[in-house]
Amino acid sequence: MEPAPMTARLAAVLICAAVASPATARVADTAAVERVVDRFNAARAAFDPAALADTLAPDYEEISPVGDVDDRAKVLGFYRADQRKAGPAIQSSDRRSAIHGPFGIATERLSFTMTRPDGTTLARSLRVRYVAVRSGAGWKLVSAQYTPMPPAK
């Protein structure tokens, strides 16, 4: 006995939905990880510790460009409004993001140009790796590592 046409169509739709759901969730999670990275970078640029705290997991650690390991409290302290200093505009490029089990990983290049006291400029770039973990309905950063890139020759 063959299934009724409506039952067969419903079964096909349910099978497709079950197969597509993990891929759809992965795309949505990757986009959510990128949004938390964007919020983190915007909060850093604005020296907004409340917004910054909202993006960081309680056990967040950061490896600075000089190799220091900074915990969440130290990072939040560095971005207090009274610590704000004028800095160069930072451009993001080459971002890649993926979900690996319970973690979201994003890597990007941050580039900026500094003006030296003598008026000359110096262009520099950092490669940054962010690690996020699901927290409730969203994502929080648990780690960031900033690696200086050698200047182009």
Tokens in use for 28? 């949505």
- Taking only the tens place, the pLDDT of each residue in 40-79 is 999 998 889 999 999 999 999 999 999 999 999 999 998 8
* φ and ψ of 78, to 5 deg: -65, -30
- Choose among 52, 102, 56, 110: nearest CA to 78: 52
Cβ-based neighbours of 111, under 8 Å, separated by 6 or more: 90, 91, 93, 123, 124, 125, 126
Tokens in use for 112? 């900026």
Q: Could you give the CA distance from residue 73 to residue 5 in angstroms, rounded to a whole number?
A: 61
Contact 61, 69 (CB under 8 A): yes
Could you tell me whether strands 69-71 and 56-63 are parallel, antiparallel, or unpaired per DSSP bridges? antiparallel
- Taking only the tens place, the pLDDT of each residue in 90-148 is 888 899 999 998 999 999 999 998 888 898 988 999 999 999 999 887 899 999 999 99
Could you tell me whether strands 103-115 and 56-63 are parallel, antiparallel, or unpaired per DSSP bridges? unpaired
Q: Could you give the CA distance from residue 150 to residue 134 in angstroms, rounded to a whole number?
A: 33
For the chain, domain boundaries: 7-149
- For the domain spanning 7-149, the CATH number is 3.10.450.50
